[in-house]
Amino acid sequence: MKRNPITSPSFNFKHLSYGFFTRNNGFSEGIFSSLNCSIISSDQASNVLKNRKKITDTFGREAEDIIIPRQKHTNKCQIIGSKIPKIINADALVTTRKNIILSVLTADCAPILLYEKQEKIIAAIHAGWKGAKSGIIQNTIKEIIKLGGSSMNIAAIIGPCIQQDSYEVGKEFYSNFLLEKDQNHQMFSKKK
């Protein structure tokens, strides 16, 4: 069984705590039997809140310290300042604030963390193929730069996500990617 949360010794910074949580060891039951943290799912709200508490407890924080956007597979990035909106429609969060937890929810999509080491700017990105193709990573880096960061000081880590050999797509999907850039063919392999 994988440990919760998953971290990497190569992404270790004095002023940053992070972790990638798996679906294991949650309070949700039935079809949601996992560590489901989506308050807009049909899961019982009490289970979702217990799952979120499990995460905030890991970092020694309170329930109000976790920020989870409503993700729509877009390229929208939200800066989190002193006032936190109740509803955040975005697929990436960026902040210079301390003592809060930026979180994104994933299944197949890639969770990506960026840390601008000089200015201590943190970003959490939900990168599915639609968001990645439409520039969610680039937009997040632009927001880091707007906050005074430099792209040269950004460290990145990609969390657990689906891998190429497990992700089947049709010919139309493949063709659309090739139309954009010829070298996109390297992202695909033939079905075995």
Among the residue ranges 71-80, 110-119, 149-158, 173-182, the one predicted with the least confidence is 173-182
- pTM of the entire structure? 0.91
From the list 5, 3, 6, 14, the residue with the least C-alpha distance to 115 is 14
pLDDT at 3 over 80: no
Sketch out the chain's domains with CATH numbers. 30-161 (3.60.140.10), 166-192 (no CATH)
pLDDT at 1 over 60: no
Is residue 138 a contact partner of residue 113, using CB atoms and an 8 Å limit?
Answer: no
User: Hey, what amino acid is at 64?
Assistant: E
For 63-121, the pLDDT digits (tens) are 999 999 999 999 999 999 999 999 999 999 999 999 999 999 999 999 999 999 999 99
For 5-42, the pLDDT digits (tens) are 999 999 999 999 999 999 998 999 999 999 999 988 99
pLDDT at 127 over 80: yes
